[in-house]
Chains A and B, each alone.
Chain A
């Protein structure tokens, strides 16, 4: 009898301490969720590896969104990575109940969704409902870049990001806008002075460090972890896109200053040339994109974008750059099929390759192939009559998206270095006389093609 009592007492005692411990843990969690769930999720993660808070918050958020007839899709890279692994299975059983919580339960601070701006009507009601459901929310607005290019419109501010926070979990809703050039754009996340810098750990967000450009994704409705969500139909392509989605806005303000100094050429010839250059660029982009050859605006075209956000009317050609590793033998036939005849071909794949196509009337399309050196990137030039070779050196660069003449195209992210290498520190001053063999500060004499190779490396049509 005594022994049993003893055991009972012991059990009671341990129960008490357990209750006390749990209380402390609860308090711990409560305290942290006030700020963010980071530290806590680690603790609990080590306990169970599951975070049902997240699942609940996501479910609540999806309920909120659907109650207002708003469509969002999942773009959380960490979840999409997991989803991508099981994509076949998820596709084949879109409605099946899932045995375990696999995607929405790994403990994270955020889940990221995308919202297409044109599919919703900025209703205030949404936020009121959100508040009723217990969400705290933050809206990040900024200037509308679609109107930024126009000097005299007071561009309205548009919402770029929303963050909905409940308990220890936050939903990051990225607003995507359609822009001319048939692509989607999201803005950078910049906090205004009065904003709560500690609302969520902003640095950990997957979107918002830079603005980004994306193709319009095809969506796939799926049910994962018993939650019905839309995801990009091809998650791996989306993730790949995301890794180099950084977008540069044209420097409209500087362009305006430039035109104040050097008024734009509004002559009929200039108008005509711009129109032709634009359509040639559109055709070239279409052709190269179909071949999946990555290209960027180079030389004069790049300068035009960077300096004045438009085609330089006296440049007389369109210049593109392509990494030699992306070279495909199909390029020439594809352009010929598109109606552009090869005008000349200098160099060879191993060295100083350069293609030139004849566009409508006098507009020429030059494609320069770029070779990677140890600490620089270079492209070559060839003088047809003498067989002399030239080398143009550029500091290393990566590629960013931008919008130019209603086209989503690449430019070097480090545009200033690129332009300065090519045109020197006075690139801001328009020059009509430009000798490609001597004017560029980055040109180097690179020997002469051996005469027996001339037939191959100097082809003029």
Chain B
């Protein structure tokens, strides 16, 4: 009862009289007093009852909850929480760096972060980047500066490393033969005293902060050409900075949170981690009108080439009509850095335990990735298959959207590929033109689910067969006479220089000059004429209007094709039977196009461009189009060169290589 207080807003004297009256009543009227007492008792009773109920209910609720935590809903797997190591507040790192002919190692605070004593491997300058606040390894690279151009790659890499990072250098075996002055100057600018004078078989270690102090440097000169410098061991201390100093202060958005996570872990991605003006990681390209491939899953097959993957995903996410939801990156192996790249772009990535070796490993990875793709997207009728070392054209999805219905309707089709094996700078011209070819190019292609599930998956080469998946797919047992649709100008560009079947020389010869479409929204012409029968009509029409070239001239000469534009020319080469590619191979060689195996043919016909003229090559008499040859013309025969080159020197190279 004493909870009740008179209204404080009422006027004082009025309140007083009111209060008095009340008191008076209370004191004097027995009946009322009694009533009040009864009321009070009642009130107390009610309170007690409510309280008891409260206690009872609470106890029951608590008991029920107890029960609810019964095993039913417990995860059967015991997830033991691993206690996190307390963050060491140590401000100094002990760094040990060793350089010698056959072994290099780097230890940070007693933990070996690099050790390489393998024979005939890891030659050159090893570079390690540490986070200046945590001491974590952010990048590990080796540049074989004994070989040409590797120093350029090193300069590029060092330029991308953010200021303030700790850089550790050490040479294994030899690192100076092709270390040019530009590179030496860069090393000098980092504070190295020795770098400008590094010479043949010198041993060298260096630890410094980019744009800051030098923590130590050691060098051992090679006494003679035939011997190596003595091994050097550098022990030094590095002072850590605070985390705030090591990070950029980007506005706090979802994207920047991803960026921050990425940039504090890895190095060597340049402007994406720039504090001032970071390059975007979301691209929002224009959507496509009536996009028929919006719901088609995209599988990106990746190994451990995170820088490639980064470049690839950038171009993929910038392509018009891309649907990031449908992209899955399949990483062959439990590599962290590729996964970091995938997460930077907010995509989903799946890691795959490597099975088998070399080409079989790639092949098993392909199988797992394709199966997983169709499991994850059970509705999909197709999947787009890409690799981590491809640039994707801005109109890649537009190209597929315009042509994918053919794959659905035309049983005689095997795939749609974005890559034209013969589409080089000097042999491809028309972005709106498509071909049918008997060889599957890979390198960015569309696979029909029914083909995979009913035919390929059950028969896929097992791990012990060291086969290339794409070679296997090209075998007649698999292809069964079906063809692929390709564009004249490729919608993908193969930029990978390192890889299982790839090296710099090979890339330069066969991939560098490949034409790549950069025009958005190309309207493909005559897509319907790509159907099986319509294509024959189209070819006959083309051959009908084509001018026969002068077969007395040398087809390798530039003058073989007149200096015109926009004309259609045809030449006839000798091709005794379906598998006789002797002359074609020689012609391909002198035209500087793909000559390692036969690509891009359709019933003994090849289509390409020369001097902006459409240029048709017909193999006589094997091709059904031989009938178009005027009787006066003798098919050209080109002899293979004498054995000196040796076919054995030619590496067996699948177009789609990886890892």
Contacts and interface: CB of A to CB of B under 8 A. Distances in A.
B50 A202 contact: no
Interface in B48-103: 50-51, 53-54, 57-58, 60-62, 64-65, 67-70, 72-76, 78-81
Contacts of A156: 348-350
Contact of B61 (A36, A125, A178): A36
B506 interface: no
B577 interface: no
Contacts of B4: 12-13, 16
A152 B67 contact: no
A7 B74 CA distance: 61
Interface in A97-155: 118, 121, 124-125, 142, 144, 146-147, 149-155
A427 interface: no
A150 B25 contact: no
A149 B368 CA distance: 11
B279 interface: no
Interface in B1-22: 1, 3-4, 21-22
Given A25-B50, A125-B254, A189 B73 contact: yes
A191 B74 CA distance: 5
A154 B368 CA distance: 11
Given A5-B22, A13-B36, A16-B4, A203 B67 contact: yes
B110 interface: no
Contact of A6 (B29, B372, B374, B453): B29
B75 A179 contact: no
A32 B58 contact: yes
B379 interface: yes
B325 A6 contact: no
Contacts of B80: 193
B500 to A, nearest CB: 19
A445 interface: no
Interface string B448-486: 000001100011001000000000000000000000000
A429 interface: no
B353 A154 contact: yes
B627 interface: no
B653 interface: no
A311 to B, nearest CB: 11
Nearest to A197: B69
B371 interface: yes
Given A147-B350, A156-B348, A17 B58 contact: no
Given A31-B58, A178-B379, A197-B65, A191 B75 contact: yes
B75 A150 contact: no
A209 B68 CA distance: 12
B421 to A, nearest CB: 31
A13 B39 contact: yes
Interface in B327-360: 334, 348-353, 355
B275 interface: no
Given A153-B350, A154-B350, A154-B352, A194 B81 contact: yes
B351 A153 contact: yes
A150 B370 CA distance: 11
A438 interface: no
Contact of A150 (B1, B74, B372): B372
B72 A209 contact: yes
Given A21-B46, A194-B81, A152 B352 contact: yes
B378 interface: yes
Interface string A1-32: 01001100110111011001100110010011
A315 B372 CA distance: 28
A68 interface: no
B509 interface: no
Contacts of B552: none
Interface in A232-265: none
A328 interface: no
A372 B35 CA distance: 74
A38 B75 contact: no
A188 to B, nearest CB: 8
A42 to B, nearest CB: 8
Contacts of A14: 39
Contacts of B76: 190
Contacts of B156: none
A42 B68 CA distance: 19
Nearest to B5: A16
Contact of B43 (A17, A179, A181, A201): A17
B22 to A, nearest CB: 6
A180 interface: yes
A202 B68 contact: yes
A16 B68 contact: no
B376 interface: yes
Contacts of B58: 31-32, 39
A149 B22 CA distance: 83
A215 B525 CA distance: 42
B32 interface: yes
A142 B54 CA distance: 38
A136 B353 CA distance: 38
A151 B368 CA distance: 9
A259 to B, nearest CB: 12
A39 B61 contact: yes
Interface string B612-652: 00000000000000000000000000000000000000000
B375 interface: yes
A208 B68 CA distance: 13
A211 to B, nearest CB: 13
A208 B29 contact: no
Contacts of B355: 152
A459 interface: no
Interface in B260-287: none
A66 interface: no
16 contacts: A6-B29, A13-B36, A32-B58, A124-B254, A125-B254, A146-B375, A150-B368, A150-B371, A153-B372, A180-B374, A193-B74, A193-B79, A201-B64, A203-B72, A203-B73, A208-B73
- 8 closest A-B pairs by CB: A39-B57, A152-B353, A197-B69, A180-B378, A190-B75, A146-B375, A154-B351, A203-B68
Given A147-B350, A180-B378, 16 more contacts: A2-B25, A6-B25, A9-B25, A12-B4, A13-B1, A21-B47, A39-B61, A150-B372, A152-B355, A178-B378, A178-B379, A190-B75, A192-B75, A192-B79, A202-B68, A209-B72
Interface of A: 2, 5-6, 9-10, 12-14, 16-17, 20-21, 24-25, 28, 31-32, 35-36, 38-40, 42-43, 118, 121, 124-125, 142, 144, 146-147, 149-156, 178-182, 189-194, 197-198, 201-203, 208-209, 266, 268, 271, 274-275, 406
